[in-house]
Structure 1
Amino acid sequence: MSKTKPNILLIYTGGTIGMIKDFETGALRAFDFKTLLEKIPELHLLDCNIDTVSFNEPIDSSNMNPIYWVQIAELIETNYEQFDGFVVLHGSDTMSYSASALSFMLENLAKPVVFTGSQLPIGDLRTDAKENLITSIQIASLQNKNKPLIKEVCLYFEYKLFRANRTTKINAEHFEAFASYNYPELAESGVHLKVNSDYLFKPNLKKKLKVHKNLDNNIALLKLFPGMSSGLIKSVLSTPNLKAVIIETFGSGNCTTESWFINLLKEAIKKGIHIINVTQCAGGSVMMGHYETSSELKKIGVISGKDITSEAAICKLMYLLGQNISAKTFKTIYETPLRGELS
């Protein structure tokens, strides 16, 4: 591969973007990424060298789990010195989870890792796959003084580049499938590709890439609703080997003030189970103590998720539990932004 052009590695995990329609039968079949340049000649216009690698058995993103996250991280780790940027092709349904997870797993990342996918297969007449793929590669190959311009895990979809751990999927039908409610887009693709440099993550470039592969999924996600029973809460909190629970609360972190609810959380915290407060709202932040209905949570030691997304909250929790952090410092570290996931 040429040393004058950026070298970009495409990692195909599965998903709609990797499907192509058989026009005789109408059936969808897997796309052969080894013939990518033949099938999408526009890629020849990009000023970079492109190589591809694929999961041995590509998966539907609904089957994504931490084992596959480790596989993606290892592919990046193995090829890190050879390539200037990485594009991960992934099904859209769980893309925000995977991209958030990789942001925590890849500490001191100094190169772009851009997740993308599509709503329609790459061979469909009205597909969004080609634009998402071409622009993601272009973004991954952006350089400043022969160094990658972007140094974080991102998600590109429908003309916008987002910080990965700030995204959530908002629509199952529209091409504009993702949003980042609490952080501005990193770049926007129009006639020109406009990068908002002020919003880019600034890693410590003096440290080498460190890949974290120990993820602990002994957690639960509990969405509060009016009329929730104590039996349901007890059932969740009595789950064997449970280490942490994320509760999706109302508004700015509010919940019922019923004593049974607060007491159940208090007992769980005493047992060493971490309780994280994340808002159900698409935008905004948890502000415990701002209203009386969240003051008790603050008193008993519930951790504030601030303006983190539920997807990033889950992935950050798996990552931190895998680091064997002491109970005394866990709350402080969780409430501290590690990869730009919190304001």
Structure 2
Amino acid sequence: MKKILLIYTGGTIGMTKDYESMTLKPFDFQNISEKIPELNLIDAALDIYSFDSLIDSSDMNMEGWRNIAEVIYDKYDDYHGFVVLHGTDTMSYAASALSFMLQGLKKPIIFTGSQLPIGELRTDAKENLISSIHFAALSNEENQPLIHEVCIYFEYKLYRGNRTVKMSSNHFDAFKSPNFPTLGESGVYLTLNKEALLIQRKSQLRYYPNLSGEIALIKIYPSMSLEFLINTLNLKNLKVLIIEAFGAGNIFSNPTFNKKLKEKTKEGLHIIIGTQCVYGGVEIGKYEASSIWLRVNAISAKDMTTEAAITKAMHILGNPESYPDFTAAFNKNMSGEHTSSEINFS
């Protein structure tokens, strides 16, 4: 029988209401089959791994991502697939980070959670959990996994993790993949969009535990303070600045800011240009208002999510021996994080 490891990190999904105090408290996932007896009907053996200290997803960070990745890496050969229970607020960051930290996957890692706790009458937790396990257990005729990447499953849809953003704080349909099709859907039957799935890697699993936080993110807006922009560029130890620009990569014109950009990039600062638009991507040079990026050798984030751009930059900075050329590494499509005809599996 196929084995699936359920990794519980924290989040809304693992809460149940104490009706005496009317507060939410963590649920013991070792007793999950009592709360969801339908799990006993799944044709897979389910093991549970819970973090010693459960984490609200707002407190999830690089150390937490590393802990999740290490559990999967250490137990990789023992399981057919992995389901990670995680709070929704930063789930897209975690899924994106793991897509870069664990490369060469031949098994599924599926993140899921819920908008209502598992103990609530109208909870979405049960369906999300059951279907995530079902997707993680899918196999071909040789009993090998059909999914070989990091995903997010939520409200009947399976998404590529590093293409996903949280779009709603109060709807069950909380996540979207604005620039990439869904990988699968849960209805009467489970269906996979096989053309959208990453192909199975030829290389062995590689674990990159190191991440660097020497990154800043700016979302520009009209009449933005020049002093704030200059102070950000002057931050000590800053190695990467991600700028969420207007539209296809446009920004206001300011000679002082432009001069400072040129100065800092000559000193080695990497500038990455993303877009504030949910749909579409960056096209540097399409409009005059984006021409400054050509003059400072800025890097286009293409149609990547902000979550993917941040975690990819963290990954590259944390592994300089593997990526001596930051720009070349960022432009590579490592794990299907941006739209490209080629994905680099080296």
State the one-letter code of the partner of 1:16. Answer: T
Determine if contact 1:336/1:342 at 8 Å carries over to the other structure: no
The one-letter code sitting in structure 2 at the alignment partner of 1:171 is: S
Aligned to 1:181: 178
Q: Compute the displacement of 1:264 (Å).
A: 1.8
Kindly indicate whether residue 80 of structure 2 is the aligned counterpart of residue 88 of structure 1: no
Structure 1 letter corresponding to 2:252: T
* 2:146 aligned partner: 149
Runs of 5+ consecutive residues of structure 1 not aligned to the other structure = none
Question: How far does the alpha carbon of each residue in 1:145-173 deviate from its partner, in whole angstroms, 9 at most, with x for none?
Answer: 21000000000011111000001111100
Distance 2:317 2:299 in 1: 14
Structure 2 gap ranges (5+): 340-346
Could you tell me which amino acid in structure 2 is paired with residue 300 of structure 1? V
- 1:222 match: 218
Per-residue CA deviation, residues 286-315 of structure 1 (Å, 9 max, x unaligned), is: 000111111221222000000000000000
Q: How much does 1:225 deviate?
A: 0.5
- TM-score, scaled relative to structure 2: 0.95
Which residue among 75, 78, 93 is the counterpart of 2:74?
78
1:48 CA displacement: 0.5
Please state whether the residue corresponding to 1:324 is helix, strand or coil: coil
Contact map agreement 1:69 1:101 (CA 8 A) in 2: yes
Matched, 1:58 2:54: yes
Match of 2:165 in 1: 168
Q: Structure 1 residue 253: deviation in Å?
A: 0.6
Counterpart in 1 of 2:191? 194
User: Could you tell me the TM-score, scaled by structure 1's length?
Assistant: 0.96
TM-fit CA distance, 1:323: 1.3
Where do residues 234-313 of structure 1 align in structure 2 (5 Å cutoff)?
A: 234-313=230-309
Contact 1:262 1:297 in 2 (8 A): no
Matches of 2:321 and 2:205, distance apart in 1: 20
How much has 1:268 moved relative to structure 2? 1.4
Q: CA deviation at 1:203?
A: 3.8
**What CA RMSD, in Å, does the superposition of the two structures yield over aligned residues?**
1.2
C-alpha change, 1:150 and 1:328, in structure 2 (3 Å) is: closer
Q: What amino acid maps onto 2:145 in structure 1? A: P
* Structure 1 residue identity aligned to 2:144: K
> Which one of 124, 128, 148 corresponds to residue 124 of structure 2?
128
Aligned equivalents of 1:109, 1:247: Cα separation in 2 = 31
Identity within the alignment, %: 53
- Matched position secondary structure for 2:328: helix
